[in-house]
C-alpha cells in the first residue's frame, strides 16, 4: 500500500524541485541558444535568463514569481494507494506554505483567491492507468503568461500536415513575446477537442532536444521548429535566432470527419519534475 503521507511528501518535494531547479535538458538548450546567438538584445536576455536559473538554484528560491497552476500527471500501475486525491491536495497545500508558492488559484468569476492553491477541480489531476507495480507522479506548475497563448483548431481532414504547420506557426506569431520566449511548443493532434489540448500539454513533458520516436512525426517537429525560429521573434520577443527551444508533437487517432489540433505554449521555464513510488 502506498500511503497518503508518501504521496503528500512526494508532491511537495517535486513542486519544490520543479519551481527552483530547471531540468538539465532545458538549461542545456538555453545555453546552446546563447552560444549561437549574435543579436545583442537576444544575448542580453539569454544571459539574464541563465543568471536567473543559477541564482534560483543557489538561493533555493523559485525561478519565477508566477509559480503556476498546479497540474499533476499520475501514472498508476497495479498498486493500491491510500487517498490519492487527498494526498496530492495536501502536498500542494504544504508546498504553497513551505517553499513558498504564490497562491494563484481563484474563483473564475468572483476572482476570490483560495489562498492555498487548492480549489474546485484544482490541483488539476490527470490519471493514466499503466502496467507495472508502481505509481509515478509528475508535477507541472504551469504559468499563465504562456498558458494564455494556447490555441485549439478543429481543422478539416483535408487541411492535412500543411494545415497543422500553418496553425502552429500562426499561434506562435500571434503570441509574440507574451509567453516569455524562448518557448517550448507542445502540439496535440487527434482525439477530440479536449484530448488534443491535453496531448499538447503532455508533449511538453518530453525531453527538449529529443525527437519523436516516429520518424515522420520527428520530421514535422523539425520543420515547424525551423519555421518558428525564422520568425525572428527571439528571446523575450525582442529579436534573435531562437524563438523556440523545441517543438513536441503527441498524437492520437481521431474521427474520420475531423483533425483536432491543440497548441500548448510553455515559456523558457519549462518546469516539471517526476518521481516513482513503490508500495512499502
For every residue of 58-77, DSSP letters joined together read HHT--SSS---B-EEEEEE-
pLDDT score at 280: 75
Same domain, 210 and 108: no
Q: What pTM did the predictor assign?
A: 0.95
pLDDT band at 144 (very low <50, low <70, confident <90, very high): very high
Does some domain include residue 52? no
Last residue of a domain, one of 141, 176, 207: 141
Pick from 192, 143, 182, 161: nearest CA to 31: 182
- Domain that residue 94 falls in: 4-18+63-141
Supply the mean pLDDT for the chain: 97
Does some domain include residue 96? yes
Does some domain include residue 32? no
Q: Which cell is 135 given?
A: 505509481
Same domain, 123 and 152: no
Q: Which cell is 48 given?
A: 539574464
Same domain, 108 and 228: no
> Domain total for the chain?
2
Does some domain include residue 108? yes
Same domain, 14 and 129: yes
pLDDT band at 152 (very low <50, low <70, confident <90, very high): very high
Same domain, 148 and 97: no
∠ CA 234-16-209 to the nearest 5 degrees?
40
Pick from 223, 207, 205: nearest CA to 215: 223
pLDDT score at 201: 98
Same domain, 9 and 136: yes
> Strands, E, within 220-270: which ranges?
244-254, 259-266
CA 187 vs CA 109, 202, 267: distances in Å: 29, 9, 15
Same domain, 79 and 193: no
What integer is the mean pLDDT of 111-138? 97
Same domain, 154 and 224: yes
Same domain, 14 and 91: yes
Does some domain include residue 212? yes
Same domain, 134 and 251: no
Same domain, 13 and 88: yes
Does some domain include residue 277? no
pLDDT score at 124: 97
SS3 116: coil
pLDDT digits (tens, 9 = 90+) for 182-225: 999 999 999 999 999 999 999 999 999 999 999 999 999 999 99
Last residue of a domain, one of 89, 123, 141: 141
pLDDT digits (tens, 9 = 90+) for 27-77: 999 999 999 999 999 999 999 999 999 999 999 999 999 999 999 999 999
SS3 166: helix
Same domain, 83 and 128: yes
Whether the Cβ atoms of residue 208 and residue 17 lie closer than 8 Å to each other: no
Whether the Cβ atoms of residue 19 and residue 63 lie closer than 8 Å to each other: yes
Last residue of a domain, one of 141, 166, 186: 141
Pairing type for strands 135-139 and 71-76 reads: antiparallel
Amino acid at each position: 500500500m502506498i500511503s497518503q503521507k508518501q504521496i503528500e511528501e512526494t508532491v511537495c518535494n517535486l513542486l519544490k524541485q520543479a519551481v527552483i531547479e530547471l531540468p538539465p535538458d532545458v538549461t542545456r538548450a538555453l545555453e546552446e541558444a546563447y552560444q549561437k546567438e549574435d543579436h545583442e538584445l537576444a544575448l542580453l536576455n539569454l544571459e539574464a535568463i541563465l543568471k536567473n536559473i543559477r541564482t534560483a538554484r543557489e538561493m533555493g528560491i523559485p525561478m519565477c514569481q508566477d509559480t503556476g497552476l498546479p497540474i499533476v500527471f499520475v501514472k498508476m500501475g497495479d498498486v493500491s494507494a491510500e487517498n490519492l486525491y487527498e494526498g496530492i491536495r495536501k502536498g500542494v497545500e504544504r508546498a504553497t506554505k513551505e517553499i513558498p508558492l504564490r497562491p494563484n488559484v481563484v474563483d473564475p468569476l468572483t476572482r476570490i483567491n483560495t489562498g492555498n492553491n487548492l480549489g474546485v477541480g484544482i490541483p488539476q489531476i490527470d490519471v493514466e492507468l499503466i502496467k507495472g507495480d508502481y505509481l509515478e507522479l509528475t508535477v507541472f506548475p504551469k504559468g499563465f503568461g504562456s498558458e494564455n497563448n494556447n490555441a485549439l483548431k478543429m481543422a478539416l481532414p483535408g487541411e492535412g500536415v500543411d494545415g497543422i504547420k500553418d496553425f502552429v506557426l500562426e499561434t506562435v506569431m500571434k503570441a509574440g513575446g507574451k509567453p516569455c520566449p524562448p518557448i517550448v511548443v507542445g502540439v496535440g493532434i487527434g482525439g477530440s477537442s479536449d484530448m488534443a489540448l491535453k496531448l499538447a500539454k503532455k508533449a511538453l513533458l518530453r525531453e527538449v532536444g529529443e525527437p519523436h520516436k516516429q520518424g515522420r512525426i520527428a520530421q514535422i517537429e523539425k520543420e515547424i521548429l525551423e519555421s518558428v525560429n525564422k520568425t525572428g521573434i527571439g528571446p523575450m520577443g525582442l529579436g534573435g535566432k531562437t524563438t523556440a527551444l523545441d517543438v513536441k508533437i503527441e498524437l492520437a487517432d481521431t474521427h474520420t470527419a475531423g483533425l483536432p489540433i491543440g497548441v500548448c505554449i510553455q515559456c523558457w521555464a519549462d518546469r516539471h519534475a517526476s518521481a516513482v513510488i513503490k508500495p512499502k
